[in-house]
């Protein structure tokens, strides 16, 4: 069984060109705290596929500095604009030797992907009915990556990372 983590980027600064918006100070702290929560769920991440937008790349870096081991980070430009099927295609292409996959993306795509991939019998299915707050992550048990599809992931944890001001 594989582990899939779907996560929204941490809080970004307001203003400027959307693609280039960096994390706010609170967002960096939020992602660092989320790293500690994720470590309780998974010991390490084999592959992180992140949108190439500044805030998602910085979220991955903050997770690393917060103590979440990530063996490899792959920036994927299409995650910035794709719909849930684009995220699904990225997941289905992951090599079989990857046991734990982290996808860091944007709203509303990342929460829609989580909702559609979640098996109805998942313990947290009812918690995924609305959008993801910043740095929220859903952790689930997935089949072989090439077999991931609608309702195929048993989501077991929804991790929220509140902001501190």
pLDDT (tens digit per residue) in 43-66: 999 999 999 999 999 999 999 999
| Whether pLDDT at 10 is above 80 | yes
Q: What percent of the chain has pLDDT over 70?
A: 99
| Whether pLDDT at 129 is above 80 | no
Dihedral of the alpha carbons of 140, 143, 146, 147, in degrees to the nearest 10: -110
| Structure-token pair, residue 73 | 């980070």
The predicted structure's pLDDT at residue 163: 79
DSSP type of residue 94: S
Report, as an integer, the average pLDDT of 142-158: 98
The predicted structure's pLDDT at residue 128: 86
Report, as an integer, the average pLDDT of 5-23: 96
Count helices and strands (H / E) in the chain: 4, 6
What is the model's pTM?
A: 0.97
Pick from 131, 125, 132: which is nearest to 155 by CA?
A: 125
| Whether pLDDT at 126 is above 90 | no
| Structure-token pair, residue 113 | 């992907």
Q: How many CB atoms lie within 10 A of CB 125?
A: 17
Domains of the chain by start residue, with CATH: 2-98+120-159 (3.40.50.1240)
| Structure-token pair, residue 6 | 């779907």
- 148 Cβ contact list (under 8 Å, min separation 6): 4, 88, 91, 92, 117, 142
Sheet of strand 137-142: strand arrangement: 73-76, 47-51, 100-105, 2-8, 137-142, 154-159
Beta strands in 39-87 (DSSP E): 47-51, 73-76
């Amino acid at each position: 069984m594989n582990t899939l983590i779907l996560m929204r980027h941490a809080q970004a600064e307001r203003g400027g060109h959307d693609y280039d918006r960096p994390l706010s100070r609170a967002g960096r702290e939020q992602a660092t705290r989320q790293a500690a929560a994720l470590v309780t769920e998974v010991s390490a991440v084999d592959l992180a596929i992140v949108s190439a937008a500044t805030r998602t790349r910085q979220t991955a870096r903050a997770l690393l500095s917060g103590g979440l081991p990530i063996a490899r980070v792959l920036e994927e430009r299409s995650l910035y604009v794709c719909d849930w099927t684009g995220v699904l295609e990225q997941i289905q292409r992951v090599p079989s030797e990857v046991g734990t996959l982290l996808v860091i993306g944007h709203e509303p795509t990342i929460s829609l992907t989580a909702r559609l991939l979640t098996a109805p019998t998942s313990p947290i299915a009812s918690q995924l009915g609305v959008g993801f707050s910043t740095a929220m992550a859903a952790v689930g048990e997935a089949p072989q990556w090439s077999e991931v599809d609608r309702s195929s992931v048993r989501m077991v944890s929804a991790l929220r990372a509140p902001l501190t001001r």
